Structure 1
Amino acid sequence: MRYESGTGTDGSGGAGGTAVPMAWFYAEYIAEELLRTGDLMPPTTFEFRAGREALALTVFLADTEDALSGIRVVTELETWLALTAYDQPWQEWVAERLAERGARGAEDTDLRLARAAWRWLEETELLAPDLDAVPGAAALPDEEQPQVWTPAWRLGLPLGHLAIHLF
């Protein structure tokens, strides 16, 4: 989407407005509202950001018709739940969808922000409970539970999935 300002970029009053990433902003808004409604963790944490970015990517990339502004959240929840489910290859799906969007034409501002979110999710590691730890570790107090560094998307995706369920 483009936001057409009253003046062109050259000050002439033309229609060459500034590109505003409305589809990405809308996807982030939906993701943030789902997470805030779920009240799973404070919005100031890296975990919250990981959940927001993972959900925003899911919302943005699931929009195959570039009609995100006309989306009805309630009708899309099942799709987002299926995409974020534990047994789904979400990270491969994201990589494929980003490649498809890039192959469709010029790289727009929305796609650049989506790629930046994906890069952050892949490259940022967060310290999280080791879900593959030895049996019985879950019974230990929080400070004694084994922890591992994990890519942010591995923490954000289940958080986003849970937020969708709670909505």
Structure 2
Amino acid sequence: MAWLYAEYIADELLRTGRLIPAGSLEFRAGRDTLALTIYLSDAAGELSGIRVVSQLDEWLSLTAYGHPWRDWVRTRFLALGERAREHGGEDPDLELARAAWRWLDHTELFATHLDPDHPAQAGPPPGLDENARVWTPAWQLGLPLGHLAMHLF
């Protein structure tokens, strides 16, 4: 249930922000990226009792430009996998989260080139051409969408 709850929170945040149409692949990328952030940040296993407003600051910092989100996701998956093995089996929520991660990491979307290697700074990177589009992993598009949706909440 924890994964479904994280997915529900992410869906509501993105719908409230009205950044992109709900049926689009971009929306799915944002929802799944944000759901992974919510689910994997729940170190204490208390997701069902979470208050969205009290967690926004943590989620915003995890999705901020320049944060090594992909490495953080991999580290959290390793820790949760180990915890599941210690408790005698695989967690169905963890399997759903892994499926979302596989989709995010292996699906590419045609989007504006956001130059993820550029150092963090206020505003868009200098020389950003919003018409220059490239194929990018879905999570790289979903991360700023989720971050912006939380700011609009």
Distance in 1 (alpha carbons) for counterparts of 2:110 and 2:96: 25
Instruction: Give the AA of the match of 2:92.
Output: T
Instruction: Give the AA of the match of 1:64.
Output: A
Do the aligned partners of 2:17 and 2:149 also contact (CA within 8 Å) in 1?
A: yes
% identical aligned pairs: 62
Distance in 2 (alpha carbons) for counterparts of 1:40 and 1:155: 12
Unmatched runs of 5 consecutive residues or more in structure 2: 116-124
Name which structure has the greater RCO, CA cutoff 8 Å, separation 6+.
Answer: 2
- For residues 24-67 of structure 1, give each alpha carbon's deviation from its aligned partner in whole angstroms, at most 9, with x where no partner exists: 00000000000000000100100000000000000000001111
Aligned to 1:164: 150
- For residues 81-132 of structure 1, give each alpha carbon's deviation from its aligned partner in whole angstroms, at most 9, with x where no partner exists: 0000011000000010011000012221100000000000000000001234
TM-score w.r.t. length of structure 2:
0.88
Is 1:37 aligned to 2:23, yes or no?
A: no
Aligned to 1:137: 129
Q: How many residues align?
A: 140
How much is the aligned-residue C-alpha RMSD, in angstroms? 1.5
Instruction: Give the AA of the match of 1:108.
Output: D
Which protein shows a greater Rg? 1
Is 1:150 aligned to 2:136, yes or no?
A: yes
Do the aligned partners of 2:114 and 2:128 also contact (CA within 8 Å) in 1?
A: no
Aligned to 1:57: 36
4+ residue runs over 4 A deviation = none
Deviation at residue 136 of structure 1 after TM alignment: 6.8
Distance in 1 (alpha carbons) for counterparts of 2:93 and 2:83: 13
Unmatched runs of 5 consecutive residues or more in structure 1: 1-21, 139-144
